[in-house]
Amino acid sequence: MLHLTLVRHGQANSDARDESSYDQLSVLGHQQARWLGAHFNAANVDFDQIYCGTLRRHIETARGIVPTLKSELIQDPRLNELEYFTLAQLLYQQQGIAVPTDRDGFCQHLPMLFAAWANNDIANPPESYHSFESRVGAALNDIAAAECPALVVTSGGVIGMMMRLTMGLDLTHMTRACLSIMNTSVHLWQPLGPALTLTQFNAVPHLDHPDRADAKTYL
């Protein structure tokens, strides 16, 4: 039966302020991936195909989940995250909206950034909002067309966009969903009638242990 299991990458470099510095897993991020892999193994969860973006944090997470891949790891740049730090710097330079330095600030900043980006109010972005939406939708359609169980390791913005496309979320609710997505959280899509439907959101069974409470991270 077709089902798509999307996983957000493990905790990255949360102290980073640019794309390249952020794109690496922390020590905890590597551990989160290994714990998830052990959970899948114990639950006898298997995948016919394994996909990830081309970002370092995606590849490191995928290899941590499945250290000895039984099938090829398919790297697809359409699964890469939007360039948040680049967009945030442009928003600051063009509109004076400060780049946040903590989670509370990030929660207020992301909705403003998405709205400005979607309305073409950020000049010369690395890609347009429409391009991001289109490439994520195309990747989802192509992976679903294989009609087999697939693991997809990607980022929170991509998962949020897939929720928008399959559930008809408006921009505000998509952004709220993105803000709630934990590192190495599991999201499941299955066919319901003629379309894919989200049947599981933000699950972290591998972190639901008393000694792993501090391992539930968002940034």
Q: Give the CATH number of the domain where residue 162 resides.
A: 3.40.50.1240
Instruction: Assess if residue 17 is contained within a domain.
Output: yes
Q: Phi and psi (nearest 5°) for 65? A: -70, -45
For tokens 């400005």, name the residue: 116
201 belongs to a structural domain: no
Round to whole Å and give the CA distance between 219 and 207.
Answer: 16
pLDDT: which is higher, 75 or 2 = 75
Is residue 199 in some structural domain?
Answer: no
Angle between helices 156-167 and 129-145 (to 10 degrees): 80
Is residue 105 domain-resident?
yes
The confidence score (pLDDT) of residue 71 equals 66
Helices (H), strands (E): how many in the chain?
Answer: 8, 6
CB contact at 8 A, 99 and 111: no
When pLDDT is cut at 50, 70 and 90, the band that residue 64 belongs to is very high
Q: Is the pLDDT of residue 82 over 90?
A: yes
User: Using one digit for the tens of pLDDT, what is the confidence trace for 130-176?
Assistant: 999 999 999 999 999 998 999 999 999 999 999 999 999 999 999 99
In a domain, 42, yes or no: yes
pLDDT of residue 165: 97
Judge whether residue 1 has pLDDT over 60.
no
Find the helix or strand (DSSP H, E) in which 206 lies. Answer: none
Closest CA relative to residue 127, chosen from 80, 174, 178: 80
pLDDT digits (tens, 9 = 90+) for 38-48: 999 999 998 99
In the predicted model, what is the mean pLDDT of residues 79-92?
A: 97
In a domain, 211, yes or no: no
Range of the domain at 168: 4-187
Token pair for 20: 């390249």
Residue 16 has pLDDT above 90, yes or no: no
Q: For position 102, what pLDDT does the model report?
A: 85
CB 21 within 8 A of CB 55: no
In percent, how much of the chain has pLDDT > 90?
85
Provide the pLDDT confidence category of residue 99 given band limits of 50, 70 and 90: very high
How far is residue 198's CA from residue 202's CA, in Å, rounded to a whole number?
11
In the chain, how many domains are there?
1
Q: Is the pLDDT of residue 73 over 70?
A: yes
Average pLDDT, the chain: 94
Percent of the chain with pLDDT over 70: 98
Is residue 48 included in any domain, yes or no?
yes
Q: Who has greater pLDDT, 13 or 96?
A: 96
Cβ-based neighbour number of residue 20 at 10 Å: 10
CA distances from residue 162 to 22, 54, 98, 167 in whole angstroms, order as listed:
23, 18, 28, 8
In the predicted model, is pLDDT for residue 17 greater than 90?
no
Whether residue 69 is predicted with pLDDT greater than 70 in this model: the reply is: no
- Is there a domain that residue 197 lies in? no
Q: What is the pLDDT of residues 102-142, one digit of tens each?
A: 888 999 999 999 999 999 999 999 999 999 999 999 999 99
Q: What is the pTM of this model?
A: 0.95
